[in-house]
Amino acid sequence: PMLALPKETTTLLLHDFSWKEEPLLESFLVDKDRTLARVGLSDSSQRPQLESGDDDFECGICFCGGADEQFLRLSCGHRFCSDCYTTYVGAKVQEGESWRIRCAAPKCPVLVGLEAARLLLDGEASERYESNLTRSFVKELRTLAWCPAPNCEFAIECQVPQAAWAYSIPTVRCRCGATFCFGCRLDDHVPAPCALVARWVQKCKDDSETSNWIKANTKECIKCRSTIEKNGGCNHMTCRECHHEFCWVCSGPWSEHGQSYYSCNRFEEDSSKNARDSVSKSRAMLVRYLHYFTRFDNHEQSAKLARKLLAATEKNMEQIQREHTLSWIEVQFLNDAVDVLSQCRSTLKWSYVLGYYMVSDNQKIIFENNQSDLEMATEYLNELIENPISDDGPSIEQFRRTVIDKTTYVRTRWETILADIISGLQENRWQFESE
């Protein structure tokens, strides 16, 4: 209304100004004619229309003419028969164009525009044109993005300012269920910033053979050498042959991973600091990378197993309902626990990317203490819900209360560490290696 222009003209101008209203309004008020000329229009421009030919009319493309021909006239005055114009605009639409289709006359700057295109096109060509318009609109607005999930046609809006992406990861959730980072279009990688994630992803590609070797899902028992396969998300392993209990990640005794001692997440930097020759330094760097990658990958695999656990949980909930006369709402505690478990696995996974690039100092020690606390609580909850309910174990009510309490505690720890990392990144509390 402030421009007092037809909707078609206003839309073309908004597109030319990348949908920014203030710059358009300012330009229009300063120099109306120059602003309109940007899209090949003038104050006296007429709306495009299909007209019947006359004896003097001759199409400049196919050279047909006469009163029987129908032609399109744009605001520039150039006229071409509707068949040629339809073919011309249709070809441009096939090439992916929409807003920038210009008059068919050579060197004419006037845009065909929405109204003219809609007069010419129908059926599949019209649908493709409208799709091109929408895609162009989403592409040009920084606050919009297409969901990267396969076969998804939804666009998502994110209002987090781009300046805040360095510390507040712009994670969005699409209506299709996909969750991804609005900044880099990768899967959700909270709490690691996009810049570190890009470096980590590239490094993992460069070391793909090492990564494949690490990803083997079987290990030998340290004590009796029996082969053990990991088929659950919990890292507390017990050998079926000798009953030795150990940690899947570091192979250390599980007794050293209790409430009072848990440093499986911490890398000892002494070996890399003391390395003198190039071979020793390369070996130390590899050992350091493997430390972080092993834990990163372990949480990724555990997260996948957690999703399988979710499917199994649905059956367990039905069984508990039948056997213990509980309502559907009363057995939702298992679903809630698996949801929290999945969130924690994802956060812990990406926290190792932060740890890998983080310079060792007192602030990193505090970070690793918080990381290990969440890791320990996550492992306990994982083990708790993977163990089947038995007749000689706690009652269903005791089990339910234990799971609810532990889920609440783990969720609180998860929220706390996320909030602390966001504020830490914002305050530049940590220094990161530049490679």
- Residue 115 exposed, middle or buried by CB count within 10 Å (0-12, 13-18, 19+): middle
Which amino acid makes up residue 335? N
pLDDT given for residue 406 in this prediction:
96
Backbone phi and psi for residue 77, each to the nearest 5 degrees, phi listed first: 100, -15
Indicate whether 105 and 40 sit together in one domain: yes
CATH, residue 292: 1.20.120.1750
Domain contains 283? yes
- Name the most confidently modeled range: 88-92, 220-224, 266-270, 329-333: 88-92
Indicate whether 67 and 168 sit together in one domain: no
Indicate whether 264 and 363 sit together in one domain: yes
Domain contains 398? yes
Domain contains 84? yes
Domain contains 187? no
- Using alpha carbons only, give the angle 126, 132, 133 rounded to the nearest 5 degrees: 90
Catalytic residue among 234, 247, 264, 344: 234
Indicate whether 232 and 367 sit together in one domain: yes
Distance CA 60, CA 248 (A): 76
pLDDT given for residue 279 in this prediction:
56
* Mean per-residue pLDDT, 81-85: 91
Indicate whether 40 and 150 sit together in one domain: no
Confidence tier at 324 by pLDDT (50, 70, 90): low
Domain contains 188? no
| Unique residue bearing structure tokens 């909930």 | 317
pLDDT, the chain, mean? 83
Question: pTM here?
Answer: 0.71
Quote the tokens at residue 294. Answer: 């092993």
pLDDT given for residue 213 in this prediction:
56
Q: What DSSP letter does each residue of 344-400 carry, written as one string?
A: HHHHHHHHHHHHHHBPPSHHHHHHHHHHHHHHHHHHHHHHHHHSPP-TTS--HHHHH
- Name the most confidently modeled range: 39-48, 53-62, 202-211, 337-346: 337-346
Active site residue 234: yes
pLDDT given for residue 35 in this prediction:
86
Domain contains 2? no
- Comparing 218 with 229, which gets the higher pLDDT? 229
Confidence tier at 67 by pLDDT (50, 70, 90): confident
pLDDT given for residue 272 in this prediction:
53
**Res. 321: pLDDT tops 50:** yes
Q: Tell me the percentage of the chain whose pLDDT exceeds 90.
A: 34
Confidence tier at 115 by pLDDT (50, 70, 90): confident
Indicate whether 257 and 392 sit together in one domain: yes
Look up the domain containing 420 and give its range.
194-426
Backbone phi and psi for residue 250, each to the nearest 5 degrees, phi listed first: -110, -5
Indicate whether 226 and 357 sit together in one domain: yes
pLDDT given for residue 355 in this prediction:
96
pLDDT given for residue 89 in this prediction:
94
CATH, residue 90: 3.30.40.10
What is the sign, positive or negative, of the torsion defined by CA atoms of 340, 159, 163, 173? positive
Query: Per residue in 140-167, pLDDT tens?
Result: 888 999 999 999 989 999 988 888 888 8
Contact status, residue 306 vs residue 233, Cβ threshold 8 Å: yes
Distance CA 159, CA 192 (A): 19
What is the sign, positive or negative, of the torsion defined by CA atoms of 8, 13, 17, 22? negative
- Comparing 172 with 275, which gets the higher pLDDT? 172
- Lowest-pLDDT range, 34-38, 174-178, 278-282, 283-287? 278-282
Indicate whether 128 and 151 sit together in one domain: no
Q: How many CB atoms lie within 10 A of CB 13?
A: 20
- Comparing 20 with 325, which gets the higher pLDDT? 20
pLDDT given for residue 261 in this prediction:
45
Residues contacting 196, CB < 8 A, separation 6+: 353, 354, 357, 432
Least Cα distance to 100 among 83, 87, 118, 117 occurs for 117
Least Cα distance to 220 among 196, 248, 201, 183 occurs for 248
Indicate whether 113 and 48 sit together in one domain: yes
- Lowest-pLDDT range, 31-35, 52-56, 173-177, 291-295? 52-56
Domain contains 123? yes
Q: How many CB atoms lie within 10 A of CB 106?
A: 8
**Res. 393: pLDDT tops 70:** no
- Comparing 231 with 248, which gets the higher pLDDT? 248
- Lowest-pLDDT range, 193-202, 238-247, 302-311? 302-311
Indicate whether 151 and 234 sit together in one domain: no
Distance CA 105, CA 116 (A): 15
Domain contains 257? yes
Indicate whether 339 and 304 sit together in one domain: yes
Distance CA 11, CA 2 (A): 13
**Res. 212: pLDDT tops 50:** yes
Query: Per residue in 349-388, pLDDT tens?
Result: 999 999 999 999 999 999 999 999 999 999 999 888 877 6
Indicate whether 335 and 260 sit together in one domain: yes
How many folded domains does the chain comprise?
A: 3
pLDDT given for residue 345 in this prediction:
94
